[in-house]
Amino acid sequence: MFRILFHAPEIPGNTGNAIRLAAITGAELHLVEPLGFDFSDAKLRRAGLDYHDLAVVTVHKNIDDAWRELQPERVYAFTSDGTTSYADIAYQPGDVLLFGQESVGLPEELKTDPHVTATVRLPMLPSLRSLNLANAASIAVYEAWRQQGFAGARL
């Protein structure tokens, strides 16, 4: 339904949690290399529990390969300096929810990439710089899914 795209994720536990999120919500998880871990990492396996075989996970060599495969109509780039609130978007199935590295966020060239429909922010107190990557993705995916009436879910 929705596609989560992590650009160069660094922390295995965040990606493991995103694998679990993808499996539970029916989203796809796309990862753009370089990855800060390999798939045998114990922290990744532990965070994803037994959901690895239930999630659709694709690794792309670079962002151009990701764009070619995804062929996105709409991409929402989540960043602390985004111009649109995540709550003000009318999400549609197939939307790509793009997130950057844990340490530095999205590079400027991705924020202005022609594929990006809007830069999006999650509300935070002004004294803090960012939210955990897996938590941010969860908030975004659940809002998008909620707008679709939690299609396919057991309610």
- Dihedral sign computed on CA atoms, order 23, 116, 132, 40: positive
Domain holding 22, by residue range, is 3-147
Q: Give the tens place of pLDDT for each residue, 53-67.
A: 788 999 999 999 999
Report DSSP state, residue 24: H
Q: Residue 38 — very low, low, confident or very high, per pLDDT cuts 50/70/90? A: confident
Report DSSP state, residue 70: H
* 119 vs 131, higher pLDDT: 119
Q: Count CB-CB contacts under 10 A for residue 122.
A: 18
Domain containing 67 — which CATH number? 3.40.1280.10
Domain assignment present for 119: yes
Instruction: State the average pLDDT for the chain.
Output: 92
Domain assignment present for 62: yes
Across residues 111-120, what is the average pLDDT?
98
* Model pLDDT, residue 130: 82
* Model pLDDT, residue 44: 59
* 99 vs 50, higher pLDDT: 99
Q: How many domains does the chain have?
A: 1
Q: Give the tens place of pLDDT for each residue, 54-107.
A: 889 999 999 999 999 999 999 999 999 999 999 999 999 999 999 999 999 999
The Cα 146–Cα 84 span in angstroms is 18
